[in-house]
Chains A and B, each alone.
Chain A
Amino acid sequence: MDQQLSYLGVPLTRPKVAFFDFTSCEGCQLQILNNEATLLDFLNLVEIVNFREGMSEKSDNYDIAFIEGSISRPDEIKRLEAIRHNAKIVVALGSCACFGGVNQLKNRFNDLNWVKKEVYGDFPIETIEVHPLEKYVQVDLKIYGCPIKKEEVEKIVTNLVVGKSITSPEYPVCMECKANENICLFELGEPCLGPVTRAGCDAWCTNNRRGCWGCRGPADVANVRQLEEIMHKYGFSNETMLDRLECFGGFASLTKEIKKTKKPAAKRKK
């Protein structure tokens, strides 16, 4: 594992890599371990110095920090700032880190006291409004998805190590889905955010006949008004569309606009 790496004859240094997690399911880190077939090759490419879920050794000396999860408690802000201070490159790993992920769904009530009481009754546990990493620190690179796609991560990390440029597709999932020759899910009676969501997942859900819920956030050219028309044409309500648009937080600014005319989320009376 310690042999000298080279790319096109140019020797490469293995960057020191650390993994960290905040408010999340830790599934994105697990996706890295889920790469059985190529895991050992991947480990050869980088030097992992910090990965609490997988190893006991720890170090604060790292080049790249991969950070999973969103920020939902004050102590997390401090920990995040310390990581930013140590790392040359901060990578937001997955929807929670990029947009807040499903965790930000609790923000829609605009009432954290109710949220705490609903779950913990008379034992309130500290929480703040959920935000993505970039609300607090500079993020150098975002890897989208809930979960992240391991092939995409490996490609990005390889490019990072060999110094190639990294770009995300600007077009929507719909393009990839069409290229895969799937029957349009709207035709099968299933609502889908494929027309507005950033591609790069190779239409992971829609290939499996599951409508897209927008985990990768909006494509650069997202036309949400057009999506509204398609949804209505196929008989889906604004609520069905909003359930999907607000699920991961990537469309937050757009859902705010659509919701402006609507009441805040209904809570349950205790």
Chain B
Amino acid sequence: MKLSCDVNVKHLTRVEGHGNIQIKIQDGRVKQANWEVVETPRFFEAMLVGKHWENAPYICGRICGICSIGHTLASIRAVENAFNIIPSTQTAKLRLLLKHMETLQSHILHLYFLAAPDFLGTGSVLPLAKSNPEEVQRALRLKLLANDACDIIGGRRLHPTRTVVGGFTMLPEKKQLDQIRRRLNACVPDLLAAAELFKTFTIPDFSRETEFVSLKADENYPFIGGSLISTDGVIKKEADYRQMTNEYCKKGFTSKLSKLSRKSFAVGALARLNNNFAFLHPTAQNISTELGLTPVNHNPYMCNVAQLVECVHIVFDSLSLIEDLLNSPWQEERQPVKAIKGKGVGAVEVPRGILYHYYEFDGKGKIVAADCVIPTSQNHANIHHDIQALAKQYAESGTKDQNIELLAEMLVRAYDPCISCSVH
């Protein structure tokens, strides 16, 4: 029997922000398949114009409630690049550790609270607290550890207080870092158990050939700064990010959209993994292979698995960062800042993909122009094309309305979109 269905999801749940899914299929033919973003924009780029440089990281961190640390760090990097400030090794390591902890808490939040209910057949994590108490406790433990580490290093888990241009206002005590190290060591079994749980999930069988964009590995799996790469072979400098993002507007869509070699591309954990698999920690690589994820993987639902693999990598990398920090003398440091006329770009891999902040300053250090390119806005067009391909696949093979609705919802959730961010 040929499939006919009418799926209309207004304000998709368990994602950050407001987006709609519409799929209309008649007699096995896709009439309509759309991803629509209706979130109210906030106009951050305009807000910043005329403001002194020190406002940028403070205000821009507030673009996002989930990855405020990533936004703050990208903003700081853009300002530092404009003023020719090079962070010390200690600052760079502390920032990366802070970034790791944000990624860990964000990935765990997404995997357990937003994505897992679909795989376990519930509407939210609340019933799971009853049916799978151990899993939920495990997730809360991991998230608490990551959030506590963000408090200790960044001063606050959300909208960090200690992170400033030039360094930190305050450093954590070494004994606090040592405690984080112990807790990280203790959480390894939790992560391995999470991997076992994910092995029991059925990842939907769907793939669409996609271009993946991320930072390019130099010596390590990259998170802060460096060159940009795509799986279609494009390589650009950080300062030339606009050649990578090619943002454009579409009528009625409140987020901007991006494209590169094809009509859309994807960023995020799967893109990072596809580009830089060889640089993952060996344990993370093994888990990835066991879960059927090796590069280049074109199944967007695998983004969930990629996030889990990254959690494993992050825990091991954080342990080695803490080791280095504990073995070096602590330097209280905040470099002096001298504003100069110029432009700066900061590219940072935040949980949902590569994020760019760009500012142009006049001689007094006032912002003349600002541009922020958000991972989710880079993903929107790709999500849209995925939904079209998904609708087509199931229109031909035939399935129930409910199935296609759930699969489409799970597809969008796999990208872990941060829609507020994308219409900053």
A222 to chain B, nearest CB (A): 21
8 Å CB contacts to B: which residues of A218-270? 239-240, 243, 247, 265-268
Q: How many residues of A contact B (CB 8 A)?
A: 65
Q: Give the distance in Å from the alpha carbon of A205 to the alpha carbon of B164 in the complex.
A: 13
Residues of A within 8 A of B51 (CB): 243
B4: interface (CB < 8 Å): no
Residues of B within 8 A of A210 (CB): 155, 161-162, 164, 169
A107 to chain B, nearest CB (A): 10
Q: Give the distance in Å from the alpha carbon of A57 to the alpha carbon of B125 in the complex.
A: 11
B85: interface (CB < 8 Å): no
A182 to chain B, nearest CB (A): 11
Contact B420 A26 (CB under 8 A): yes
Q: Give the distance in Å from the alpha carbon of A27 to the alpha carbon of B160 in the complex.
A: 12
A61 to chain B, nearest CB (A): 17
B182 to chain A, nearest CB (A): 18
Contact B156 A56 (CB under 8 A): no
Q: Give the distance in Å from the alpha carbon of A29 to the alpha carbon of B420 in the complex.
A: 13
Q: Which of B61-69, B73-81, B188-196 contacts A (4 or more CB under 8 A)?
A: B61-69
B415 to chain A, nearest CB (A): 16
Interface string of A72-96 (1 = CB under 8 A from B): 1100100000000000000000000
B21 to chain A, nearest CB (A): 13
B147: interface (CB < 8 Å): yes
B326: interface (CB < 8 Å): no
A36: interface (CB < 8 Å): yes
Complex partner residue of A266 from B50, B55, B117, B251, CB under 8 angstroms: B50
Which residue in chain B gives the minimum CB-CB distance to A191? B54
A1: interface (CB < 8 Å): yes
Residues of B within 8 A of A43 (CB): 126, 129
Contact A36 B143 (CB under 8 A): yes
In this complex, the interface size class of chain B, counting residues with CB under 8 Å from chain A, is 35 or more
Q: Which of B37-45, B266-274, B297-305, B379-387 contacts A (4 or more CB under 8 A)?
A: B37-45
Contact A76 B40 (CB under 8 A): yes
Contact A27 B68 (CB under 8 A): yes
Q: Which of B10-18, B206-214, B219-227, B276-284 contacts A (4 or more CB under 8 A)?
A: B10-18
Contact A55 B17 (CB under 8 A): no
B170: interface (CB < 8 Å): yes
B124: interface (CB < 8 Å): yes
Residues of B within 8 A of A213 (CB): 58
Complex partner residue of A37 from B14, B65, B144, CB under 8 angstroms: B144
Complex partner residue of A125 from B41, B49, B113, CB under 8 angstroms: B41
Interface residues of B (CB under 8 A from A): 11, 13-17, 40-47, 49-52, 54-55, 58-59, 62-66, 68, 109, 113-114, 117, 123-126, 129-130, 140-141, 143-144, 147, 155-159, 161-162, 164, 169-170, 249-251, 254, 256, 368-369, 420-421
27 residue pairs A–B, Cβ–Cβ below 8 Å: A1-B129, A24-B65, A25-B65, A27-B158, A28-B65, A33-B113, A43-B126, A55-B125, A56-B13, A56-B117, A57-B124, A102-B42, A103-B43, A116-B43, A118-B43, A123-B249, A125-B254, A127-B41, A205-B161, A208-B161, A208-B170, A210-B162, A243-B52, A243-B55, A247-B59, A267-B50, A268-B49
What 9 A-B pairs have minimum CB-CB distances, sorted nearest first?
A27-B65, A55-B124, A208-B155, A123-B249, A36-B144, A56-B123, A25-B65, A209-B169, A208-B161
Interface residues of A (CB under 8 A from B): 1, 22-31, 33-34, 36-37, 39-40, 43, 48, 51-58, 72-73, 76, 101-103, 105-106, 109, 114-116, 118-123, 125, 127, 146-147, 190, 204-205, 207-210, 213, 239-240, 243, 247, 265-268
